[in-house]
Amino acid sequence: MTTEPITVLGAGVMGVGITTLLAAHGLPVRLVDTAPEKLTQAPGRIRQELRMAQLMGALPPGREQGEVTPHSDVAAVRGARLVIEAITEDTDLKKAVLSEVSALISPGTPMISNTSSIPIDELADAVRRPADLIGTHFMNPPALIGTTEVIRGARTSEATLDAVRGLLREVGRRPVVVRDAPGFVTSRLLHPMINDAARVVQEGTASAEDVDALMQGCLGHPTGPLRTADLIGIDNLVDSLWVLLKRTGDEGCRPCDLLLQKVADGHHGRKTGHGFYTYEESTI
């Protein structure tokens, strides 16, 4: 097992979750964010997620935790084994960050964009070596979900794909490789369904609790779509729906008014303490 660090860009919900997964399997991580408060909060959030994973029996037994070092400068990508970009779901921001990263790392260093909806080949236009870029869609929380969607862009090399498959297997995940397209598989199916569930609540047909109870009890959904929305982050969900609407033209992807109102009110789900449900502690 290599001791070269993996650099994770973004100390938000997904960046912290991915860092937790890597560190739990003994891998050293450089966690980068330009917001000092996020870097300050990250160690406590990582400890919390590690405790939860331990309680759920999701941690490898007897494995020493990998060291996580905070950085505020993207130059921390230099010398990394791989770079995982996990910033907000905004195409222009991701392109800007990936462009900067590609100028700093050595040729052949895999760059992974963790995205729920943005086509990888769009992002590849911004980097120096499109062959080094690939996508993943880790589901939240990464330490508890054993399968990871991998998105191979039209220009992604076989070596990059092999490196990412190897990393995922190293941390106990099952990689499932899909073709590049807006929303790929999971978001293309899940996010419009959550939008419809929110619309049912908006129209007064049923409460959020009843929608989730029916989806769980009758259709076998493990958590219910609206609890899932709170876990994803309603702001992130809305961003993904806009991406899907713009790139597919599917009106079912237009975020409903209830989702837009929750974003405007700052009720983004579990991470803010309020979404479709209320939570005792914010995870921001």
The one-digit pLDDT tens for each residue of the chain (284 residues) are 457 999 999 999 999 999 999 999 999 999 999 999 999 999 999 999 999 999 999 988 888 999 999 999 999 999 999 999 999 999 999 999 999 999 999 999 999 999 999 999 999 999 999 999 999 999 999 999 999 999 999 999 999 999 999 999 999 999 999 999 999 999 999 999 999 999 999 999 999 999 999 999 999 999 999 999 999 999 999 999 999 999 999 999 999 999 999 999 999 999 999 999 999 865 44
Residue 201 and residue 131 share a domain: no
Q: Which of 150, 179, 208 is the last residue of a domain?
A: 179
Same domain, 21 and 93: yes
Q: 97 and 47: one domain? A: yes
Kind and range of the H or E element at 67? Answer: none
Residue 284 is predicted with a pLDDT of 44
Where do the H-state alpha helices sit in 25-134? Answer: 36-55, 91-104, 120-124
For the beta sheet containing 68-71, the strands, ordered from the edge strand earlier in sequence to the opposite edge, are 68-71, 29-32, 6-9, 83-85, 111-114, 133-137, 147-152, 174-179
User: Domain range for residue 75?
Assistant: 6-179
pTM of the model: 0.92
In a shared domain, residues 27 and 47: yes
Residues 96 and 219 in one domain: no
Domain stop point among 179, 209, 239:
179
Give the pair of three-digit tokens for residue 135. 């996508």
CA distance 202 to 180: 33
For helices 234-248 and 225-232, give the axis angle rounded to 10 degrees. Answer: 100
Please identify every residue annotated as catalytic: 137
Count of the separate structural domains present in the chain: 2
Helix (H) or strand (E) holding 210: helix 208-219
Q: What is the pLDDT of residue 62?
A: 84
**Closest alpha carbon to 106 in 137, 146, 79, 76:** 79
Whether residue 148 is contained in a domain is answered as yes
Roughly how many angstroms between the first and final C-alpha of the chain, as a whole number?
A: 33
Question: Do 107 and 37 share a structural domain?
Answer: yes
